[in-house]
Structures are given as structure tokens and as C-alpha cells.
Chains A and B, each alone.
Chain A
Amino acid sequence: MSKNTLFDKVWDAHTVRVMPNGQTQLFIGLHLIHEVTTAPAFDAMREEGHRVLFPSRTFATVDHIVPTDVRSRPFLDDQAEEMIKAIERNVRDFGIEFAGLGDSRQGIVHVIGPELGLTQPGMTIACGDSHTATHGAFGSIAFGIGTTQVKDVLASQCLFVRKPKVQQIRVDGELRPGVYAKDVILAIINKLGVKGGIGYAYEYAGSVIGALNMEERMTVCNMSIEGGALVGYVNSDERTIEYLRGRKYVPKGPAFQNLVEWWLSLVSGPYAEFDNVVEMDGADIPPMVTWGTNPGQSVGASDRIPEDADLEALKFMGLEAGQLLKGTPINVAFLGSCTNSRPTDFRTAAGIIKRYNLKVAPGVRALAVPGSEATKKLVEREGLHEIFIKAGFRWGEPGCSMCLAMNPDKLVGRELCVSTSNRNFKGRQGSPTGRTILMSPASVVASAAAGAIADVRELGQ
């Protein structure tokens, strides 16, 4: 049983009641909505005669289906047009704040929440999307829910949830050059497995995690669900406070100071007890690349695929046990998704392109998609988009893009894509035979230039 962790404190503060069966009725402090998982929930709300109980704690956007090039309406895809019309109708009928297409606040739901300061420490946050864990980077309890649960939150601002155990994952020491936040979470999932986190919340701690900025912490928390953990979080600290200071939906002045005091009181202190603790050394982590069809099937960029690697996964990917992944030719490079589409990611990637004067290799289709309108504006103000364009990337409009095949950005046929997204499942990127290799933005850029899977540490050698 965990005690005195941030998880316990936030859980207790949001407990409405504990049921005889042991579940908690948990108040949800922030409900984020997007177009894909909500239409049937709103229909059910109408059928059952409910109103949204806390419209002021609800915020909606569109991200999964939006095209990243031509965004004029009606969309070419009839179903996508119906879907965006449905959410527009629903937010209007139920009085929900909406960052729609053309709104300066629009973007991937897990990018805009923190950007706008909607996401804050000490909240419970729910959204009909498994990568809701991202918001845990701010010291919140954030998790993905299904459509029926979306209805529960809309009508009651609560959910029945069984309290998970809490496992602390300490990554201490320092990361080596060429190793980034994405590599850290890929290494964690590699170590603990894709089902290691079932029944657990993950607390990420240690000096490596503490040294990450907020956007890098979001990359780590984002992929908690790929390790089976519903929730992943980092204790709030000075970085968290400075990131949030002055953001649109964050109070100012004395109200801010009071909130900060509360945020810092929630952190896992010296009396925190965890159900389990795992320790890792940052120096052991190389740039990581996946070789298989789940995010746990990965190796270091210069290492060989294990001899006992799953044969079915290898066959699908067209790879062999024991082989070096490095040097495998690629067809597509994608910089984007809720995992890695924030200013830090583009600064890192652009910095590498500039330093080594990189160009996308002939025959490689490369795409860079900012996670939100605000990120796009910021990155363009710094002139970074020109670096991507000159190198041969298409610079897109904000959205989920090539992560998951619900908008026009898709793989074709047997294409092999190096991607900063979070899932390499069969068919994930839109072609049943398409193949995905997950890696960090730095590794994607190095690979795009090489026209093959590359180890970013070898650049300039």
C-alpha cells in the first residue's frame, strides 16, 4: 500500500466516497475532450436527459482527424467532416469551451492542456484518449478513459476508479550526449515490459528526471500507458512553477502564490512509501529504437536485435534476430505526435540539422508537424520551420497527423517509417503492411538524413 506519495495526496483530495466494493468515486478536476471518442457520449447524454455538471472544468479541441495541409471545409473526407460537425454541435448544445479549427488555442489535446495552463499540479485529469498520462508530468493524476466513462464525467464530473498501486521508477545519474527523454521512456518500457504497469501508477523520479524540462517530462509520462501503467507522473518543482507562471488559464498574483504553495505541499516527501521501487542509471541508456510491433520491443541504436526476439514480429517488420538495425533503409520520417511535437523537440531536431548541415536523403518522405497553433507560432518565430523546410521536411498544420491514420497522413504499402510517435503496432500508421520504428526526434533527424536507421551519436564522426 502506498503512503504519502503525491498520488495518495491528490487521490484523497478528490475522493467523493469509497464504495463497499472498494472502488473510489473520484472527482475529475479537468475533463479534456476531442472529436473521436465523444459523439456517442453526448448522444447518450441527450437520451438520458443529463446536463454537463461542471462546464467550467471541461475543455474541447479537434486533433485526430484534422488534415495537416489543406484544412478548408468541408473536409475531403466525408466522415471526418461529419465528426467535426458533431463536436461543434455538441460543444454548442452543452456549453463547453472549444478550441476549434482556426482557434489560436487549437492543437493536440495533450499539447494544448499544459500550454494553456489548464493542466496543473494536484488535479485529476481525464480524457477519452490513452495518452492522457502525459499531463502527469505536472504532478497530476491523469488517465485515459473510454466513451461510456466520458459520459460519466460529463454528467457527474466523477468516475468510479479502483486505486492502483504506486511504483517509483528512479532514473539517477546523467544522460549521455545523444540520449533524450524519449530514449529514457523507451528504456523503461523495455526493462519493465508492456504489461509491467498493469494495476500501477508510475512515479518517475531521480536526478535524470529532475533535470528534464517540462516538455521532456511530458514525453516520458506520455508513454506510461505503453508500459501498461494507466498513470505516470513527476513531482512538481520549480520548473513546473516557472513553466505555468503567466499562462492563459493560470491565476495571477496572490492567487498564484497560494496555488504554488499547495502544489509544493503535494509532492512525495521523505515519508513516502511505494509498493515497489525500480532503479536505473541514466548513463546506461543509449539512443533507443524499436524493432518489433509493440513499444517494448526495442534495442540501442547500435545494438543487435536480441537472438530470442519474437519471430512473428520480426517477420512482419522484415527483420532478423541478431541483426543490426542501424543501416536499414527507411522510406518515411515523421516528427510529431503528442509524444514529441513541442518546442523543445523542434529546437533539438532543428539544432542537429543546422549543426551537421543535414538534408533529408533522396527518396525519403519527411514530415514535421507542430503539436498546436501556439507551438507552430513559437517555432516559426524562432525561424526553425525554415530549417526543416530547407532540409526537405514538409512543415504541417497542427494535429495528430501520422501517429494513427485517422487523417490523410498515412503510410503507403510496405513503407518503413522512423517516427517520434508512441505506437508501432501493426497497421498503426494507416497501411496494414506499413512498418513503424519509434525513436527520439534527434534519432529521426539523423535517420532521415542517412536514409536509413542511424545512431545520432555518430553524426559528425
Chain B
Amino acid sequence: MEKILQVLGRAFCLPGKDVDTDRIIPARYLKMITASGFGPHVFEDDRAAAKGNHPFDLTQNHGRPILVVGENFGCGSSREHAVWALVQWGIQAIIGESFAGIFRGNSAPNGLVCVDVSHDFRARMAETLTRDDEAEFEIDLREMRFSVLQNDITGFGGLCSMPEEHREMFITGMWNTTAALLSVGEDAIERVALNLPYIMAGADKGGANE
């Protein structure tokens, strides 16, 4: 995966707080053993209930890379399938008031930019979108700033935040957490293991392999 220094494009809102991952991708899709094919099923049950009026079903929102959400987005189950569904549908960045921890942890390795903004800014974004649906949003990961442009003039802007480790992954293009973890060397990892009394005691010798 390459570097991501900014995300630029049109946006749309998903109203409400505490949007959980069961809604983002229903459990029946977790029986797929691949990591692809989830895009069409994002928010499937919410969309069925909304009969065509759900933000993900409105034609003007198709192709928009930026989603604006409330607090505690992605709470509940750890399913990374929720991130896959959003990314495969076409979302590149989510601007929210706060994100649930596991969802946030799953987002960066998949190239999904998740930034926090204040409650007031989020409300202002939602209000702007009701008046001017075509506003262009920009998230700059070098400066950690967002801006909302209307008719090529900056409407407003401000600071946004994300954990430093995610920002680094995006701006350096260093995605492979596994390689980074192994880069410390197997010896260093072994040393920590051998200092742990439960590993010394052969806690697994009661029957596990070895």
C-alpha cells in the first residue's frame, strides 16, 4: 500500500451515535472466509428498514469517499469485516466525534483514515452538508487539519486527531505491522517470553503440543 497524505472529496453524514459493528455488517456475512465481497452488504439491515432512504442508498452519495459520523462509531463486536465493508463500498475516510477502540485499531491497517473532531465541528459539518451537499472536504494528515470548501473558498477548517501510530502508517506508507513487529528480532521476543514465570514453568506442558 502506498502513502496516504490526504483525503479529498465529497462527504455525507450518517446520523446517530453508538453505531455498532453488527449494523455495519450483520453477523450472517461473517461466515464468508474471504476478506473481500463485503461492500454490497454494508448496513444491509438498516438499509432494508429505510427502504431506499438510507444515506448509503442515496444515489448522490455513491462514490463519496468521506463519511461524517457521531460518537463511539464502530462499537461492539471486534469484526474487522466492518472496516472491510466500508472500504469495499468506497469509504476512504471517516470523520467522527469518537471511535470505538477495536474498530479504530482495525481501520489503519486497511487504509481507512479515521479522525476525531470536536462535537461542534461535527455538528457544523452536518449542518453545512444540509445546505450545500457539494461541499468538498479535505483531511490533511501531515498537518492533522481538516477543511470544508464551498465553491472553492474555504468555508471553515480546524484540527483533527488520530493516534500517532496510525498517522505514521499513513504518511510513511509503512503498513505491514507484522514486519515491523518482527523487525525487533526473534531473540528479543524470546527473551521476554523466557522471563515470564508461566512460560518458564511450562504451563502448557500439561497437554498442549510440544
Contact = CB atoms under 8 A, between A and B. Distances in A.
Contacts of B209: 55-56, 95-97
B35 A147 contact: yes
B102 A146 contact: yes
A53 interface: yes
A319 interface: no
Given A14-B192, A249-B206, A50 B178 contact: yes
A182 interface: no
A152 B27 CA distance: 24
A323 interface: no
Interface stretch (B52-60, B75-83, B152-160): B75-83
A80 B16 CA distance: 33
A228 B100 contact: yes
A259 B210 contact: no
B22 interface: yes
Interface stretch (B105-113, B125-133, B136-144): B105-113
Contacts of A226: 76
A152 B165 CA distance: 16
A259 B206 contact: no
Interface in A238-266: 248-251, 255, 258-259, 262
Contact of B165 (A21, A120, A432): A21
B34 interface: yes
Interface string A1-27: 000000000000111110101110101
A255 B193 contact: no
B208 A59 contact: yes
Contact of A259 (B46, B182, B193, B201): B201
Interface stretch (A35-43, A374-382, A445-453): A35-43
A130 B77 contact: yes
Interface stretch (A194-202, A276-284, A342-350): A194-202
B206 A251 contact: yes
B193 A405 contact: no
A130 B102 contact: yes
A55 B193 CA distance: 13
Contact of B181 (A77, A86, A95, A160): A160
A43 B28 CA distance: 21
B120 to A, nearest CB: 18
B45 interface: yes
B196 interface: yes
Interface in A218-245: 225-226, 228, 230
A82 interface: yes
A135 interface: no
B51 interface: no
A128 B20 CA distance: 17
B105 A146 contact: yes
A144 B206 CA distance: 26
Contacts of A404: 22, 27, 77
A423 interface: yes
A59 B100 CA distance: 27
Contact of B197 (A17, A158, A259): A259
A332 interface: no
A96 B182 CA distance: 20
Nearest to A128: B78
A250 B208 CA distance: 11
A432 B206 CA distance: 45
A273 interface: no
A339 interface: no
B14 interface: no
Nearest to A432: B45
Given A21-B168, A427-B22, A29 B199 contact: yes
Given A162-B163, A262-B197, A77 B31 contact: yes
Contacts of A59: 208
B32 A426 contact: no
Interface string B57-79: 00000000000000110011111
Interface stretch (B3-11, B85-93, B183-191): B183-191
Nearest to B210: A56
A67 B35 CA distance: 24
B181 A13 contact: no
A401 B75 CA distance: 22
Contacts of A195: 18, 71-72, 75, 98, 100
Nearest to B164: A21
A77 to B, nearest CB: 7
Interface in A69-108: 77, 79-80, 82-83, 86, 95-97
A250 B181 contact: no
Interface string B18-32: 101011001110111
B80 A56 contact: no
B110 A23 contact: no
A166 interface: no
A79 B80 contact: no
Contacts of B83: 146
A249 B208 CA distance: 8
A238 B26 CA distance: 42
Interface of B: 16, 18, 20, 22-23, 26-28, 30-35, 45-46, 48-49, 71-72, 75-80, 83, 98, 100-102, 105-106, 109-110, 163-165, 168, 177-178, 180-182, 184, 186, 188-189, 192-193, 195-199, 201-210
Given A120-B203, A146-B80, 8 more contacts: A13-B195, A83-B33, A130-B78, A194-B18, A249-B208, A251-B203, A262-B198, A404-B27
29 contacts: A22-B165, A37-B78, A53-B189, A55-B209, A59-B208, A64-B30, A65-B31, A77-B31, A82-B33, A123-B198, A129-B78, A146-B78, A146-B105, A147-B35, A147-B80, A148-B110, A162-B163, A195-B75, A198-B72, A198-B101, A225-B76, A258-B197, A262-B198, A404-B27, A406-B31, A423-B22, A425-B76, A426-B46, A427-B23
The 7 closest A-B pairs by CB, nearest first: A146-B80, A146-B106, A79-B31, A156-B181, A195-B72, A39-B33, A40-B35
